[in-house]
Structures are given as structure tokens and as C-alpha cells.
Structure 1
Amino acid sequence: MSKNDIARDEREWERAFALRKDLAPYIHTGFQSNAAVQSICRAYKFSRATAYRLLKRLQSDDRAAALRRIKPGPKNMSTKLSVQQESIVDKHLRKEFLTRNKISPANALAGVNRELRELGCPEISKTALINRINAIPDRVLKLKRHGGKAARQAYQIIRGRYVVREPLAVVQIDHSELDVMVVDPDTGECIGRPYLTVLLDIATAMPTGIYLSMEAPSAINLMTAFHRSVFPKSEYLAEMGIPYHWPVYGLPRVISSDNGADLKSKAFNWGLEQYGVEHIFRPVAQPHLGGHVERFIGTIQAFVQTLPGTTFSNIEKKGTYQPEKQAALTLRDVERFLLEFILRDYVHDRKRRLLTSPINAWNVSWRESKSCPHLPMDPERFRLDFLPFEKRNIQREGLELFGMFYRSEHLQKMKNCGIQNVTIKYDPTDIRTVHFSADNETYYEARGEHFPRNPLSVDDYQELRKKREERLNASLSAPNPADAHDLRKQILADARKRKKAVGRIGTGSLAQGRDIRDLAGLREFSKRGDFS
């Protein structure tokens, strides 16, 4: 896929994300008025029939991918213009048309065809150029041709402070390293402090999901925590042995977070856009805007400091207490303690801001709204959409990732069709299989070779490779440089002695006679042709 193809694909995804956001209010109710339909049609330049068709498509598949414009023809996304024509058109649109000079489409067409004639290529029609201009989002046109201020005035939604009254209108997400040491379940040795990822509904102060891990915050932490937040939790609670009810589920409209690098993960934000969830980053140096979730984390930390192995919040409180020696809880134990505290104590405590408890605020809010939370249609596809991904070329050995190769029948079919580049999605906690796609829509599974039956994480695999490398190199003994130097000196000395000896022998008649006899024997040998 060329750079131009990638750029066009990104523009198409941006359009699909924006269209999904505009159609979202009508998924359950349908268009309520002609004005609503006309507004959508004017914004995206399509007919009323197309608007209804796209809404129907979104009602059966709630992801932005359902709204992408599918070009007719071969699946390799070829166009009627040649690659060279497309390249020249794209160059002129970027460097001439999408500038503050604001040249007309006619002038842009003249420039394109002039360069095509110089290269001996067929000219393109006005319709071909107009179609490509129409594919550019209106906001991009306004930004490039009129400037950022004009684009903001035309399209930017002016936001004041949040006044959140509805559940799942805004959910805050954050991470924290807990003030407690945990031990290995097999050896009992202290292995450090775990990281907690939490999501909190602002309107009701209700926790919507948590995830506890020994790994530093990453895309997989975000994906797992968000997955738990969105879906019902009865199976999770049963697996953890927690006898309480956690009635929270559903997709939020907005996710609010700080500006941490992990929270800007491509995989996480790609997944949010697929399901129409807006991600708002809190302004830098304004931590008070994340106060809801930070206060909740502070409450969690205060509880954790009552557990064995706590590190407390500062050295003064810690005193002579040695958390490494006192630690007795495993990661699972700490997670069960947290769930028990949240579901038995926290959600039933009255909050001054709410005038009631979080659990009561949640239930009353949904009862008064006479609606229910929205769930993704396909839980497995939802999980896949949030997995980390990499771009890879299809090699003769298959797809290479983490130093391993993955193969499948579908991968061979893609290679036979000339597809070279694919997107690989993988679960860092189990890399025995990966999922790959050429269009970011249809994914196929590929398996790696020589993997164990049990799940194998990226970190475990890399640790195994490191140990194997150390084991293989342990038997290799590097030669002593001094010995090598002495050996080279001995070889040179022997060569000089041999040269001197040959010189002395070559001057004698005996040596000359022997050389003549050897030459005669060589001639006789060559006559017989015996070279076997």
C-alpha cells in the first residue's frame, strides 16, 4: 500500500468516525424530523436514501467500520486512474489546492493535466478530480484553505465545564501504583507493588470497572479495564468468588483522562472511535479536572494501607515497618479485597455531592431516564478492536512478530492475490495466535509454531528467549587473545624458515634434477588424461 493509499484510507476512516458520531443519536429512535435528515445530507453530501440506508446499516452493526464507503471493483482498492495519475492528482491537491492560495478546481485540473502530458500519461477528466475533492472532509478543506481559526469557528464545539447529570455521559479513567506489596503465589517471595486501572462514572460516582496487574500501565491494561467496564460482571465476580452484585455496564459517551502516553495508545483510541466514544484529554497542569477518579483512588489507597505488606503513603508513616517481610497477599488476594471493599462499602456510602449512595444514584438515574445502557453487539469483536496492532509485510515464512512466524491458509491466499501489507492484532498476554487483516475490517487467525499449550505472554516469551541464549552461549569459551597472537607469530616464523630452506635446496643440482624428473612425470600424466 502506497503512502497515497494510506492517506486516503485515513481520510476515509476520519469521515466514518465523524459520520458515526452524527448518526449515533438516531440509532435507537430513527430520524425524528426532516430537518435532522437534511442536516446529515448537507454535511456529508449524500441523498436522503443514503442517509436512511447508512442509519439502517449502523443499527445492525454499531461500529464506524459499517459506514465506510466501499469502492466498487476489486478488493485490492484499485481505481480507474493509474497509480501514476493518482500520485500526480494527490500531489497537486496537497501542494496546490489545499493551501491558502485557494485555487479553483479548474486551475488544479489544468496543473494536473499539464504534468501528465509532460510525462506522456493520459489526461484525467474534470469529474475524476471533483470526485477526489469531494472525498476530502469539509473540516480539512476549511482548515487547509481558510486556516485554523476559520475551521474552529465553523466546526469546533465550544465546551464549558462539564455539568454531568446522566449516567455514562462521562467516565474518567486513571492508573495508580497501589501502596501494598504482593507475593508470588508459588514461591511466596515478594514481587513488588501492583498497578490499578479504574474507571468511574462522573454523574453517579459509581466505579464501572477495575483491572489489577503487575505490569506498568499499557494498552492491554486499558483494554481489559474498559472491557470489564462495558460488559456485565456477573461471570467475573463469580470467578473471583465475590458474592456481591455490580449492576454497572454499558458504553460511555465520553472517556476523560490525563495525558499519559499509555492513554494515547493507538489501539485504545482506535477502539473508542469505532464505537463512537469520544476521548477527551484533560488540559496539562490542571489535575483538578480529574478530581473525581483521583478521589476514588485516594479512598482505595487508604483501604489498601490497612492490608499486610502496605508501604504506606510516606516514609514518616512507614517508620520501621518492613513491607517486604510483612507481605502475605497474592495479586488475586488484593484484587478480591478491592472488590469486596468497593461493592460492600464504597458503593453504599452516602456521598455529599450526590445526597445519596453511588449504587442508589445509578439505579435511580436509569429508572428516571426510562432507558438502559448500550452494549456492543459482538463482545469478541469489541475485544479485538481494542488489541494492540502492528503493520507487517507478508514474508515467505509468514508473518513475523516478536521474532516468531505465524501462518494460515488465509495468509497464503492473500499473498497469492498480491496483498503485501497487513495489520496484525495481538494479545500481549497470549501470543500463541494473532489476528491479521488487509482492510482493518475482516480479520483472520494465524497460529505460531512450537508454542506450549498454556497461554504465553510477550514478557514470558522474551524471558525464555533470553535464558535460552544465555544457556547456548554459556558453553562457548572465547580464545585467549594472547594465545592467538603467539600462534600467529609461530606461523610467520615457520613460514620464514621454510622459505629459507627452499632457497638453499633450489640452488643445488640434485634439486634441479628432481624438478626435471617431476616435470616429465607431469607431462606423461596429462597425456593419459587421468584427472580422477
Structure 2
Amino acid sequence: MATEIRRIAEQGVLTLPDVAWEQARQRMDVVGPLAALDFVGHQAADDAAHSLGLSRRQVYVLIRRARQGSGLVTDFARGQSSGGKGKGRLSEPVELIIRDLLQKRFLTRQKRSLAALYREIIQACKAQKLRVPARNTVALRVASLDPRKVVRSRGGQDDARDLQGVGGLPPEVTAPLEQVQIDHTVIDLIIVDERDRQPIGRPYLTIAIDVFTRCVPGMVVTLEAPSAVSAGLCLAHAACDKRPSLERLDVEMNWPMSGKPKLLYLDNAAEFKSEALRRGCEQHGIQLSYRPPGLPHFGGVVERIIGTAMQMIHELPGTRFSNPNQRGKYDSDGMAALTLRELERWLTLAIGAYHGSVHGTLLQPPAALWADAVARSGTPAIVTHATAFLVDFLPVIRRALTRTGFVIDHIHYYADALKPWIARRGSLPAFLIRRDPRDISRIWILEPEEQHYLEIPYRTLSHPAITLWEQRQALASLRQLGREQVDEAALFRMIRQMRDIVDTAQHTTRKARRDQERRQHLKTQSPSGKLAPPVTDVPDAQTEGQPAAMPFGQIEEW
């Protein structure tokens, strides 16, 4: 009997007030049956939340607590820790061992790992016949240490300098789109061109993730290396309605996570510190913040979702795996099967599956948390003019106005709207110009007085739309031919010849096939010549009949 009373006391029954006990019992009656199920859907969780006066997220927390507990009423009690708020539930001798070994074995220049520290704690507890704490408990003790002290003790004062003034912790986030992280990666997959379905190499992924809800509001897959344009395209995709891009990919799913971020949290790559991104964010009231150098965990949310996505990519035909040892004798080129657009469709479906899966940290699907947060705080502001928004993030050029318009890289641009400014060109400073490297058939100039953008096309409208890399290739070819002076006509003749070679070749090289794919988006222009909105394109018949995306599964255990 004494043993039973001691056990009950340890569980906190004798210390629970009557009101708290009754509340815990009601929670057990409602949530207990749900905890016994393998899967708890939204409707069941909502019903339980309504009857208990809780949120859906709190119900999922109680479910997890019940599954990890002993089937007791106190598993559902608030503040069930006997140590009180902010205190641990370990006995004082165990706490003393942990504190002592943290100081003497972990906070040293030898930089022992958490696993090594935990092994020593196990040995010390067993030697004193004490209950061994869980590894997660020790990990929480390490995480609660002052990051500046940890870095200073394990790496020295110089290593800790970057943490001074930033508190050693990533910014706290309390609402959707309050902080969005964006990052790039090369995808471990060989893709094929759409015409001959021959391998053309690996594409790049730029992805944005909302830190509060862990939802993915934006994604871009390109053949271009990461740049300011990649960041701008991803941001435009995140801020705009997803329905046009879903229709282009022939994907039927709900992707409501859209809106302008309040803050972009980025690493220190050059493309994230470009004038284009800085000016665009200033224009739209988006703050820019950068993770401290040498502290990759500050961007861990986006990096973890990228890592999980790449693990899934390894199951697709044509994967390159993460290293040559994993790849072995697997013929990535020979097995390649997906085009750029098919890969984008697959990733879109995978993101949809991820949004609907219970998150290991949130204990509910990211989509559910997004919906709850939007219901409380309102729908975020969604950008309705995608092209105009993207223009604000395009690379910046400055040029003086001439009597025939603007000349950029040997190409002339002119529109009648420039006439009033041409007459005053001598007194005007250089114009700020935006240009999309994917289509340089038009530029956007910032009108000096009204401060809005004017779209200026080629002066010679018969010229075809080209990409910046085509222009540079043609210019390099003309230089090789000994052309000291390059004019616009010669430049476009060279581009036409280069395109003819690629289009008519029986066996094109991988580079030529890749270059041809880079021009695919130029075919999406409307008859009026207006640039198609970002991530909006015509449907691709080749995407039909593709296998469904694999689920993201357990993603980003944060």
C-alpha cells in the first residue's frame, strides 16, 4: 500500500487541485480514445477541441502526451512537471551529474559530441545506482545553454564574436509569413530535354518555407545557376496566387499558402545581397535579415526541407545520389526520364502531400496550422500582378538615354513614351533599368518623375526574343571570328545561325540540348508580346500519366 501511495504521489495525483484533476479527467475521457488510434484526422481532432475548449494543435499535443505516458489521468494535467514551470523533473543527484559533466566534458576545446556526453552520463548514473535520464532530456539541457558560452568554451573567443549582439538564437516567429527562409540547391537528378528526351544535366531548386507553419509558399526549378533572378522568381511564386502555375502543370490540388513575407531570412550568398533583391524588398516593405556567418543552424528550417526533398529525389529515375559511393555503377544518364516540367510537377505534388501530412514537430499538418493561423489573423496580402511584382526583383542596369533610346549590350530599345525624355536627355541622370535575363526582348525603365516602370521593347520589333546567355554566346562567337566592331544586325544573324545548328542537328550535344531547353519559356509569350507572368505557362501534355508524387513523410524533425 505504501508503495502504491508513493507511486501515485510521484505522478502528482496528491498535489493536483480538484479543478485541475477534473479537467485532466475530462481530457482523458475525450482524448484517450483518439490516442489509441493509428491516425487522428482533422475532423476528430476538431470535435475533441470543441468539446474541451482547446485548439486543434493542443489536442494533438495531448494525443502525443497520452501515447508517451502511462495511461494515467495526470498525463493530461497541465504543468505535470513536479519541478514547477521552468524546472526539470529529474532528481537533484542526476541534475548534478549532468551539470558537472556538461561543464567538465562538454564545454571544452576537445568538442565532445552529444553522444559521447550522454555515454558518460549513463556510466556516472549507473555507478551511483541512479535512474538514467533520456537522451532527449540531455539534449534539451545542451540546447538550453547560452550559445555564446558554448561557442566560446568549445571554440574560443574569436568563434563567439559573431554571436555577440544577436542573442545567439534565431529570431522568434509567431505568425505566418512573419519569417520566410529561401535557399538554393542543385538537384541530384539528371533530366532530359522535351524534344529528344536526351539527358541535359542537373537543374536547380530554389525553395521558400514559412518558419511558423513549415508550409512551402514558393518554389522554382530552373536550369540556371542560383542568382538574384532565381530568388526573385521564387519570391514572386510565394507572393502570388498558385492557381495559374497549377493549371500549367495540370495539377489538381489546393495550395493556398501565398502572400508577401514580412521578413526574408537568408544566408550570405551574393545573390541574396544584390541590389535587385534589396530594392525589390524595400519597394514592397519586405525586411531582409541574414544569418550570422558560420552558424548554419540559423537557416536549419529551409535546409532540412531541402535535405528531405533530395532524399526523395534519390528514388526517381536518373538520380545522381549524394556521392559517387552511393551511385556505384548506376547509369544516371541512361536512366534519366523526367523533363524539367515533369520534375516541377512531381515536386509540386510532393509539396501538396507534405502539407497534408502530420508534421513531427507541429503534431499536425502544416496546412492545418496555416488554416488555423489565417482564420485568427486574416488572409495574407496576395500579389495580383505577378509580372509587375517580378520586375521589382530583376537585375538592375543604369544607362543614359540617347536620341534613339537605350543601347544595352549592342541592342537598341525604343518606345514613343521616351520622346518627352529624349528632348531633355542632357539634363537627366542615368536611368534605372530592369532586365529579365531569360528574355531581353524588353526592358523596364523607372520613369524619373512618376516613379513607375515603363516597358520598352526592341527598337527593331522583328528581332526574335532571346535570352541573355544567347546574346553573350553570339557576342563571344563574333569576337572569335575577329569582329572588332559588333553591330545589332550581326549579333542577331549569329543568334539565328546558332539556333539553326541546334534545331537541325541530328545528334546534339548535351550543352546544346540544355541551351535549347533554356529557351522554352520564350514560347509562352502572348501574341501582344507581353511577358508571361512568372511560373505561368501553357499546359504540357507530356506531364499527363506521370506517377503520383511520393509523400514527404517525416520531414524536418526540428
Specify the TM-score bucket, using the shorter chain as the normaliser. 0.5 to 0.7
Give yes or no for the alignment of 1:401 onto 2:408.
yes
Deviations 1:203-236 (A, max 9, x none): 1110011000010011211111110100110111
The aligned residue for residue 14 of structure 1 is none
The aligned residue for residue 542 of structure 2 is none
Alpha-carbon contact 2:447-2:454 (below 8 Å) kept: no
2-side partners of 1:306 and 1:274: how far apart?
42
AA of the residue aligned to 2:307: G
Which of 362, 376, 398 is matched with 1:368 structurally? 376
Which of 179, 182, 191 is matched with 1:173 structurally? 182
The aligned residue for residue 136 of structure 2 is none
Give yes or no for the alignment of 1:390 onto 2:384.
no
Deviation at residue 167 of structure 1 after TM alignment: 0.8
The aligned residue for residue 249 of structure 2 is 240
Q: What TM-score do the two structures reach when normalised by structure 1?
A: 0.56
Which of 446, 467, 470 is matched with 1:457 structurally? 467
Deviation at residue 449 of structure 1 after TM alignment: 3.7
Give yes or no for the alignment of 1:355 onto 2:372.
no
Which of 409, 419, 427 is matched with 2:436 structurally? 427
- Structure 1 residues 171, 312: CA separation in 2 closer, same or farther (over 3 Å shift)? same
Give yes or no for the alignment of 1:275 onto 2:287.
no
Deviation at residue 342 of structure 1 after TM alignment: 1.2
The aligned residue for residue 488 of structure 1 is none
- Structure 1 residues 243, 471: CA separation in 2 closer, same or farther (over 3 Å shift)? farther
SS in 2 for 1:333: helix
The aligned residue for residue 223 of structure 1 is 232
SS in 1 for 2:252: coil
2-side partners of 1:308 and 1:158: how far apart?
45
Aligned length, in residue pairs: 316
Deviation at residue 187 of structure 1 after TM alignment: 3.2
1-side partners of 2:478 and 2:170: how far apart?
56
Give yes or no for the alignment of 1:448 onto 2:458.
yes
Q: What TM-score do the two structures reach when normalised by structure 2?
A: 0.54
Deviations 1:503-530 (A, max 9, x none): xxxxxxxxxxxxxxxxxxxxxxxxxxxx
Deviations 1:350-383 (A, max 9, x none): 11221101111111111133x1101346544322
The aligned residue for residue 307 of structure 1 is 316
Deviation at residue 168 of structure 1 after TM alignment: 0.8
Matches within 5 A, 1:79-478: 161-343=170-352, 345-369=353-377, 371-376=378-383, 378-417=385-424, 418-439=427-448, 441-450=451-460, 455-467=465-477
Deviations 1:376-426 (A, max 9, x none): 465443222222111111224421112211112232321212325211111
**Bigger fraction of residues in helix:** 1
Alpha-carbon contact 1:204-1:361 (below 8 Å) kept: yes
Q: Return 226-235 or 188-197, whichever deviates more.
A: 188-197
1-side partners of 2:337 and 2:391: how far apart?
36
Deviations 1:281-323 (A, max 9, x none): 0000000011111110011101111111100011111011121
- Structure 1 residues 204, 305: CA separation in 2 closer, same or farther (over 3 Å shift)? same
Alpha-carbon contact 1:431-1:457 (below 8 Å) kept: yes
The aligned residue for residue 87 of structure 2 is none
AA of the residue aligned to 2:242: K
1-side partners of 2:384 and 2:197: how far apart?
42
- Structure 1 residues 454, 334: CA separation in 2 closer, same or farther (over 3 Å shift)? farther
- Structure 1 residues 450, 416: CA separation in 2 closer, same or farther (over 3 Å shift)? closer
Q: Return 385-394 or 447-456, whichever deviates more.
A: 447-456
Deviation at residue 443 of structure 1 after TM alignment: 2.3
2-side partners of 1:253 and 1:272: how far apart?
10
Deviation at residue 262 of structure 1 after TM alignment: 0.8
2-side partners of 1:163 and 1:438: how far apart?
39
- Structure 1 residues 462, 203: CA separation in 2 closer, same or farther (over 3 Å shift)? same
- Structure 1 residues 240, 376: CA separation in 2 closer, same or farther (over 3 Å shift)? closer
The aligned residue for residue 78 of structure 2 is none
Matches within 5 A, 1:30-109: none
SS in 2 for 1:247: coil
Alpha-carbon contact 1:429-1:455 (below 8 Å) kept: no
Alpha-carbon contact 1:421-1:438 (below 8 Å) kept: no
2-side partners of 1:454 and 1:358: how far apart?
45
Deviation at residue 430 of structure 1 after TM alignment: 1.2
Unaligned runs of 5+ in 1: 1-155, 474-532
2-side partners of 1:454 and 1:211: how far apart?
25
Alpha-carbon contact 1:399-1:405 (below 8 Å) kept: yes
SS in 2 for 1:210: strand
1-side partners of 2:349 and 2:383: how far apart?
28
AA of the residue aligned to 1:358: P
2-side partners of 1:408 and 1:367: how far apart?
47
**Same amino acid, percent of matched pairs:** 31
Unaligned runs of 5+ in 2: 1-164, 484-558
2-side partners of 1:236 and 1:410: how far apart?
32
The aligned residue for residue 125 of structure 1 is none
Alpha-carbon contact 1:180-1:193 (below 8 Å) kept: yes
- Structure 1 residues 341, 380: CA separation in 2 closer, same or farther (over 3 Å shift)? closer
RMSD (Å), alpha carbons: 2.2
Deviations 1:478-500 (A, max 9, x none): xxxxxxxxxxxxxxxxxxxxxxx
Deviation at residue 453 of structure 1 after TM alignment: 6.8
Bigger relative contact order, structure 1 or 2 (CA pairs below 8 A, ≥6 apart): 2
Deviations 1:86-120 (A, max 9, x none): xxxxxxxxxxxxxxxxxxxxxxxxxxxxxxxxxxx
1-side partners of 2:452 and 2:188: how far apart?
43
Alpha-carbon contact 1:197-1:221 (below 8 Å) kept: yes
Alpha-carbon contact 2:228-2:276 (below 8 Å) kept: yes
SS in 1 for 2:217: strand
